[in-house]
Structure 1
Amino acid sequence: MSAPAVLHELVARANDLAAVVDTVAGELSRADPEGRAGSRLPNAAGLIRQAALELAESAAELTRATQHRPVTFCRMGWGVCPEHGSTLIAMGTVTRCAVFGCGRTWEYKREVVPCAELATHRVVDADGGQTPVCGGHAAYACDSGGYVEPLTPP
């Protein structure tokens, strides 16, 4: 079984466990009207659901990171804003470009997964090695002093 499939199975198990804890909490609240016996159970169920969300997000990140990318895609191992380059800010599981007025957002941690943009340029290193990159990574390479040239359409 693949790692994302194992994580999805764990998500289902965690959600089932949270439902059982909710059921037990309900039964205890009826048996103990003062609420002492099961007072921590709603919090426990919430923590289990939070763990399920973290597992689901990890599965999604793993799937994105391991998906096959055609050779026409950027070959960099991390994401950037396709227009502005290395300007990403992550807040929880949402990533946004920090450039005022850009407005681009992604519903995942874009900076930690391989870039999924089409390659429009190539970065040439000192030894003549060439790496196809998107416009955002080309901007980053230029800012870092790299030699960048546009790709010639086939």
Structure 2
Amino acid sequence: MTTDTDSATAALYAQALQSTAAAPNRCTVPWGVCPEHGGTLKSRARATEGFDSWCTDPVCFNVWPYDRLDAACTEPATHTIQADDSDRYVVCDGHALTARAQITDGQVLRLPA
């Protein structure tokens, strides 16, 4: 039985695969990260309008005037994630850092320069 979360995750990975084929030089993950620290973002709605996002790493002062967490990543691709099922996704430094900490069956490989 597949849960809604499993279906949503599968849809996000399918989107990443399509994006990898369409733009192999851009990160394909459909959510943002801190480019220096990975999955450390927080976002909040502003009191007036819009959002702010920031990195929660104590030595990082990165702040964005939009909801970076819920926006597609726009960083350049620097790594390939080779999933256990042989799918490949191109990702940026921040997503590669996060993937190294989270994946168990797969590899994170630096793209050739």
Quick check: TM above 0.5? yes
| Equivalent residue number for residue 112 of structure 2 | 152
Number of residue pairs aligned between Structure 1 and Structure 2: 85
C-alpha distance in 2 between matches for 1:142 and 1:70: 22
Give me the TM-score of the superposition, normalised by structure 1.
0.52
Pair member with larger Rg: 1
C-alpha distance in 2 between matches for 1:140 and 1:108: 21
Which of the pair is proportionally richer in helix?
Answer: 1
Pair 1:76-2:29 in alignment: yes
User: How far does residue 124 in structure 1 lie from its aligned partner after superposition?
Assistant: 0.5
Secondary structure of the corresponding residue to residue 131 of structure 1: strand
Query: Identity of aligned pairs, percent?
Result: 36
List alignment gaps of at least 5 residues for structure 1.
1-68
Let me know the Cα RMSD of the aligned residues.
Answer: 1.4
1:1-154 mapped onto 2 (5 Å cutoff): 70-92=23-45, 93-145=51-103, 146-153=106-113
- Ranked by relative contact order (alpha carbons within 8 Å, sequence separation 6 or more), the top structure is 2
For 1:66-109, what per-residue CA distance to the aligned partner results, in whole angstroms no more than 9, with x for missing partners? xxx84311000000001111100112200000001210011100
Which of the pair is proportionally richer in strand?
Answer: 2
Counterpart of 2:109 in structure 1: which amino acid?
A: E
C-alpha distance in 2 between matches for 1:71 and 1:142: 20
Give me the TM-score of the superposition, normalised by structure 2.
0.71
Counterpart of 2:83 in structure 1: which amino acid?
A: D
C-alpha distance in 1 between matches for 2:86 and 2:23: 23
